[in-house]
Structure 1
Amino acid sequence: MNRPHLKSLASAFLLGIAGSLICAPAHAGSTKDRLLAEKSVTIGIHNRVPWGYRDQSGNVIGLQPSIIRAALAPLGITDIKFVIGEFNTMIPGLLANRFDMTAAGVAITPSRCKAVIFSEPDLTSGDGLLVAAGNPLKIHSFEDIKNNPKVRLAGARGSANAGHAITAGVPESQMQQFQDVQSMVSALVAKRVDAVVMSAATIIATMADPNITGIERASPFRALKDAEGNDVALVTAIAFRPEDTDLRDLYNVQLEKLKHTGELEKIILANGFTKDNLPPNKTAEQLCAAPEPKK
């Protein structure tokens, strides 16, 4: 046996390990550090108008992608990758590290605040109903639906809007839950359901589609009231993993700049919303601590 040869091999092996350790890339200590170093971020979207979706050319557009781009561009983070998933997978996907942030119109609710942390609010949008043209069943509130067992209500699975209807007393036996706006609207047009609950903003975007006929927005609409007697409204924001407080804080600094310069308002208006949809004078912390709406 050639022992000098074995010693040479052992030395080379150890040197190889040492070299690989020295050359191993250093990993950022936090998501924020990684994003700033790589100038890249991965965003979860529901592919839903008007929040964040792909247009006919495959480009991702919508309210929250536009806000995120405007907020992160000054930091040099311009490589933005989008991951499409169902709405009810946005928070689980975020927690499973499938993406770094969400841009899916996720509303700030006390229950969601137990799972993720939110940026400061970027939009306010109340509930609304779509019904058949002429509103033959005279549906103007969740109360009207609850009081008429024949009414079939559609809602997006996992959405706060559908949750508001249930909170208002609409029996789950009268509700059908769908994966997306298109399937809900198709069910309404085909008369498989009698009404669809969505955010008012999504209704506006839906009704802007010239290919959709035979339905209308229920007007007036009497909204669910909160514990203080105010109309319940969705207040949306960007969601982050609980450990990414430094990234959330950095994003909030950028978002505040957009508010101060008026750029956020321009983005909101450009995406089909109105000044009524500007974010409220409440912080994410206040909204997380708010009581759930009464039944």
Structure 2
Amino acid sequence: MKRQCLMLAAAAALLMTSMMAKAEDTIRFATEGAYPPFNERGPDGALIGFEIDLGQALCDKIKRKCEFLAQDWDGMIPGLLANKYDGIFASMAITEERKKKIDFTNKYYQTGGAFVARKGTSLDVSDKKLGGKVIGTIPGTTQCYLEKTFPDATIRVYETADSLYLDLVSGRIDAALSDAIAIDFGLLKTERGKDMAFASEIYTDRECFGEGVGIGMRKEDAELREAFNKAIAEVRADGTYDTIAKKYFAYDIYGK
């Protein structure tokens, strides 16, 4: 009887060890689930999007299982520091302020700005005055780039993207310089933006647009961070990244 109890105890311990090992093999990522096409809820409630697909591909490269958890944006960094998950995979820009608290992998995409205007509009971006056209933008990165690169242009700064889009569509401004992805999904892919189109390449000036977007990780998890840096380089090199990106975007979002 004693021998049987010992065998049962050993089996239970082995099972527990196996379960713990499997749990440790699973990498938990926080995402928002509310920022399409990067992360959102599908019809069945599951998390889907570019970042979910890319995260799975990266975990395949390092031979680990991935799990995505929906979290409120404001609680993401505190949750990471409290060990609720292992990384933040939620379009979080790499900034000096955030780097005081957490580390980031290398970028996996680069947000940038682009001009949008009515279809057929010609915009001479070699002219510092932009041909005298009235250009709208919103505060922040795109305003920075517009004022730095086209100091003689006529600029109108709007408090919100919606007010910018409204004046662009109504013809009160000739063009808008906006975050390329935001205006693509916020205007160009909507009914009201059907007569609008990109009128330039995507600009990713580091001084204004920063280092890009990376996976947020705890500072002590340097080994895991480097594993993902290697995986990002591998999916870029073997075409996996481009295959995933083309499902969601008609242009390069990685940047230079």
User: Fold-level match, TM-score > 0.5?
Assistant: yes
User: Partners of 2:185 and 2:69 in 1: how far apart?
Assistant: 24
Question: In the alignment, does 2:223 pair up with 1:246?
Answer: yes
| Distance in 2, Cα, partners of 1:207 & 1:177 | 16
Take 1:113 and 1:167, find their aligned partners in 2: how far apart are those partners? 26
1:153 alignment partner in structure 2: 137
Unaligned runs of 5+ in 2: 1-19
Q: Are residues 259 and 82 of structure 1, via their aligned partners in 2, closer, same or farther at CA, if it must alter by over 3 Å? A: same
Alignment of 1:52-201 (within 5 A): 52-55=39-42, 57-73=44-60, 75-85=63-73, 89=74, 93-97=75-79, 100-109=86-95, 112-131=98-117, 152-154=136-138, 160-161=141-142, 163-165=144-146, 174-178=156-160, 185=165, 189=169, 196-201=176-181
CA contact 2:137–2:156 (8 Å) conserved in 1: yes
Residue type matched to 2:105 in 1?
S
Question: Between Structure 1 and Structure 2, how many residues are aligned?
Answer: 229
- Residue in 1 aligned with 2:8? none
Unaligned runs of 5+ in 1: 1-32, 281-295
SS in 1 for 2:36: coil
How far residue 256 of structure 1 moved from its aligned partner, in angstroms, is 3.3
The residue number in structure 2 matching 1:257 is 234
Q: CA–CA distance in 1 between the matches of 2:172 and 2:101? A: 35
Change (3 A) 1:247 1:196: farther
Larger Rg: 1
Secondary structure of the residue aligned to 2:178 is strand
Q: TM-score, normalised by structure 2?
A: 0.61
Query: After superposition, where does 1:195-214 map in structure 2 within 5 Å?
Result: 196-206=176-186, 209-213=189-193
**For 1:97, what is the secondary structure of its paired residue?**
helix
The alignment yields a C-alpha RMSD, in angstroms, of 4.7
Give the distance between the partners of 2:21 and 2:168, measured in 1 at CA. 45
Aligned mates of 2:248, 2:213 — CA distance in 1: 15
Question: TM-score normalised to the size of structure 1?
Answer: 0.55
SS at match of 1:270: coil
Deviations 1:245-288 (A, max 9, x none): 233223223333323432122112222244x44464xxxxxxxx
Q: Is the contact made by 2:111 and 2:180 (CA closer than 8 Å) also made in structure 1?
A: yes
Counterpart in the other structure of 2:199: 219
Aligned-residue offset at 1:97? 1.6
* Identical aligned residues as a percent: 16
Is the 1:36–1:77 contact (alpha carbons within 8 Å) kept by the matching residues of 2?
no
Q: CA 1:208–1:176 in structure 2 vs 1: closer, same or farther (change >3 Å)?
A: closer
Offset at residue 123 of structure 1 (A)? 2.7
Determine helix, strand or coil for the equivalent of 2:138: strand
Counterpart Cα distance in 2 of 1:242 and 1:141: 43
1:156-203 Cα offsets, whole Å, 9 max, x none, are: xxx644554466669xx953344xx77864675577987654333444
Aligned to 1:45: 32
